[in-house]
Structure 1
Amino acid sequence: MKFQTIAQALACTTVALASSLVFAQTAAPRAVGPATQAAAERAPVNFNGVWEMLDAKAVTRPGGPKAPYTEKYAKEMAHFTKHFDVNGVDDRIKLCDDRGMPWVMSSRARTYPHEIYQNEDRMFMLFEGMDTERNVHIGQTAFPTDDGASVQGYSIGRWEGKTLVIETRKLMPRPMPDPFPRSAKARVIERWTMETLPEVGDVINVEGVYEDPEVYTEPQKLTQKWKRAQPGVRVLSYNCPQALWDNHLAKRKKELGLP
């Protein structure tokens, strides 16, 4: 079965777009249509293309077992680390759990590229890891009141010179037990810039702040650097069902005698 490309998805209806973004990884091309390319070039920076992590040492991941938690979540985390193998069999990432924002932006996996499709008022990101997608509404001034929360949240972007500032709200809570908890009060602000390095070429620099006052006593830092992927690199399917973690968690709770 041949799936739609990202460029084709933009021309579809809203319902078709949501469906195609999930499956487009199997055939995502590097090129975009001339009209869309021209629209993107009218923006201060054109982020179109296929990208991959530049250097794991440049990545800062928010949260984690040793983060500065509030009193409530410090107790929850102590309980979690006491009863669960955080870095072993109970590592949710090994069980295909999509952590969502902000952690999708701080992946250190070298082998999973992602594609960005950008025009004047929208930017789509399609990640091979976990079959994840993001949708940034560029130029929108207010967050909707009728949209539900999701793991990626709702993102609004604006240009400050050549810097794209993205704010994400409406994030779905991640209740304990979880090594990366998130509450409904979470908010992420990212600042995207582009530079060209002689030995690498184009590089996207992402610097962000993750705020979740219910979970952390202070804002968490997010950094990422992406370089352009080599010609021919495509974004493929990851094929990762949520049921893997749900079934594993139920089994482990039973083994540990936990409610």
Structure 2
Amino acid sequence: MQNADHVMILAEMVHDVRIIRLGEPDELPEQLRPWFGDSWGHWDGNTLVVETTNFNPRHPFRGIPPTDQLKVTERFTRVSAGTILYEFTVDDPSTYTEPWGGEIPFNRFNDLVYEYSCHEGNYALGSVLSGARYEEREAGRNQHD
């Protein structure tokens, strides 16, 4: 989702939301640490360039606690009607000897996307599924009457 001042990215898994402010960066107060860091972006042609700093210390970055020097730079480039090329660079001189990164194409998916569900430890799931199978059987029987 996008407007003139912000871009919002909603991840399907766990419904994580990132809000990216557009334009000139203005630092957030030190006590305000967004879960995914403070992201601001600008357009470079057809590429959205996003820089994120000020990561929440309680949210490990790839399993490693973030330092005050962690900076992630992302580039979102539309390369075709159905593809956005996502590129990222991680820079944290306190943790890594040099910046590292990668890229992956995001391809449009035209089918249904089902909500992410974590069923580990959900002991009611067996009953939920058996109830659904019962309803399916009954619906099938009613079609043959």
The two structures have a TM-score, normalised by structure 2, of 0.68
Cα displacement (A) at 1:134: 0.7
Structure number with the higher strand fraction is: 2
Pair 1:192–1:126, CA change in 2 (3 A):
same
Q: Which deviations, in whole Å up to 9, do the C-alpha atoms of 1:170-226 show, x marking residues without a partner?
A: 1023699x9621323211111111011xxxx51111112111111111112132221
Structure number with the higher helix fraction is: 1
Identity %: 27
What is the aligned counterpart of 1:131 among 5, 12, 15?
A: 15
* Contact persistence 1:174–1:180 (CA under 8 A): no
* Contact persistence 1:122–1:136 (CA under 8 A): yes
Higher relative contact order (CA 8 A, sep 6+): 1
Does 2:115 correspond to 1:236? yes
* Contact persistence 2:12–2:115 (CA under 8 A): yes
Q: Which deviations, in whole Å up to 9, do the C-alpha atoms of 1:201-252 show, x marking residues without a partner?
A: 5111111211111111111213222111215x24625469xxxxxxxxxxxx
SS in 1 for 2:33: coil
Query: Which consecutive unaligned segments of at least 5 residues does structure 1 have?
Result: 1-116, 241-259
**Number of equivalences:** 118
Letter in 1 for 2:85: N
2:105 matched residue in structure 1: 225
What stretches of structure 1 move > 6 A for 4+ residues in a row? none
Q: CA RMSD in A?
A: 2.7
1:209 matched residue in structure 2: 89
State which structure, 1 or 2, has the greater radius of gyration over its C-alpha atoms.
2
Query: Which consecutive unaligned segments of at least 5 residues does structure 2 have?
Result: 120-145
Q: Aligned ranges for residues 10-29 of structure 1 at < 5 Å?
A: none
The two structures have a TM-score, normalised by structure 1, of 0.40
